[in-house]
A = this chain, B = another copy of it.
Amino acid sequence: MVEAEKGALPPGAVIGMLGGGQLGRMSALAAAALGYRCHVYCPEPDSPAAQVTSRATVAPYDDETALAAFAEAVDVVTYEFENIPFATVEFLAPRVPLRPGPEVLRICQNRLREKDFCTAQEVPTTGYAAVASAEELGAAVAKLGRPCVLKTVQFGYDGKGQVLIGPNSDLDEVWAEVSGAADVGLIAEEFIDFRLEISVIVARGADGAREIFVPVENHHREHILDQTIVPARVSEKVSDKAEGIARHLAGALDLVGLVAIEMFVTRDDRVLVNEMAPRPHNSGHWTIDACTTSQFEQFIRAVAGLPLGSPERLANAVMQNLLGEEALGAQAALNDPRAKLHLYGKAEARPGRKMGHVTTIRPKE
């Protein structure tokens, strides 16, 4: 009915979303503002994302009948987390446009491929080595020094699947502990005594245009993001370096969508890529309340083939995650009139579960 910009999905078109979590939920809200519909596909009923749209499929990621019907029912497919089975994406790719493309997902699903990609792009990362045997573990630790960290290359998030190798760790014991995960793949990484962890989110449109959000500072508790401070308290030089890396990687990935790049800032102001997520990111939630265009809207614009919006920051902000039972008293935050509460519609407040967040707006003036 309504005409589309050249190459863009017309209003009323349906964006298929793999995954039903809070990132999908906030993306669906952004899609609705732009006049799109979301069709959520995930295995769990009444997921956070499915609550905010009239269209959802509840089915496993390997249900080819459900996937084929999903592909028929939507105009484009995207995903809200990178641990989607790659076979799901391979099944969908010939049937419906997928943004970001499968190759981006293949790289970002795997810490080793991610780091190899950065290295090929001459983007600095922490030192690392692939580990497939006890011998390779020994060689890796010899190369990287102690302490270092052993991680699964895939399906790790929020600190899951990590082992710290300390000065006295017995490598045979470590190997016995982790060798069961060797078929997923393992990577040893240099332990960085960094000054600050920051992240940069960059969007890249179908036309190749890139727009970047200001670098932010992330603080973790038990490996889970706790607080994001905006903007990051870094020098202009560090900020420029971080933005340069993010822009470059988005281009090199031939990304259509959004990528969040976590980086370490070392005590001597080097900037090292830690990991990449080709989707909206927890450290970008503040953009909903403090930017002209949010990360979720930017993501949907890219996926829909629309021009990107201005990422300018209208205010400073602090984003506080609400984990598990911290969410129980969340409404109390609203006693601060500049606190923006976001809850994800999750019924059960399991320990460490991301239930919501609060962004507190701090005027720039």
Q: Measuring CB to CB, which residues of chain A are less than 8 angstroms from any residue of chain B? A: 1-5, 8, 11-12, 25, 28-29, 32-35, 37, 46, 50-54, 56, 211, 288-290, 292-293, 301, 306-310, 312, 314-315, 327-332, 334-335, 337-345, 347-349, 355-356, 361, 363, 365
Contacts and interface: CB of A to CB of B under 8 A. Distances in A.
B310 A35 contact: no
A286 to B, nearest CB: 13
Contact of A349 (B2, B25, B332): B2
B29 A356 contact: no
- So how many copies of this chain end up in the complex? 2
17 contacts: A1-B348, A3-B331, A11-B331, A29-B32, A32-B51, A34-B343, A35-B330, A35-B344, A37-B51, A52-B52, A211-B337, A292-B337, A292-B340, A301-B334, A306-B331, A312-B363, A365-B365
Contacts of A11: 327, 330-331, 343, 345, 356
B29 A25 contact: no
A339 B309 CA distance: 8
A32 B306 CA distance: 25
Contact of A51 (B53, B312, B315): B53
Contact of A35 (B348, B356, B361): B356
B361 A338 contact: no
B334 A5 contact: yes
B2 A330 contact: yes
Contacts of A51: 32, 37, 53-54
B1 A349 contact: yes
Which of A301, A314, A331, A332 neighbours the largest number of chain B CB atoms within 10 Å of its CB?
A331
Contacts of A46: 54
A320 to B, nearest CB: 15
Nearest to A25: B32
Nearest to A10: B331
Contacts of A363: 312, 314
Nearest to A37: B51
Contacts of A328: 1-3
B54 A3 contact: no
B37 A33 contact: no
A127 to B, nearest CB: 39
Given A53-B54, A54-B51, A341 B1 contact: no
Q: Which interface residue of A50, A54, A347 has the most chain B CB atoms within 10 A?
A: A54
B315 A5 contact: no
A252 to B, nearest CB: 24
| The 10 nearest A-B residue pairs measured at CB | A35-B343, A310-B337, A5-B331, A314-B314, A32-B52, A11-B343, A307-B334, A310-B338, A3-B328, A33-B342
B12 A347 contact: yes
A214 B252 CA distance: 46
A314 B290 CA distance: 9
Given A29-B32, A52-B32, A1 B337 contact: no
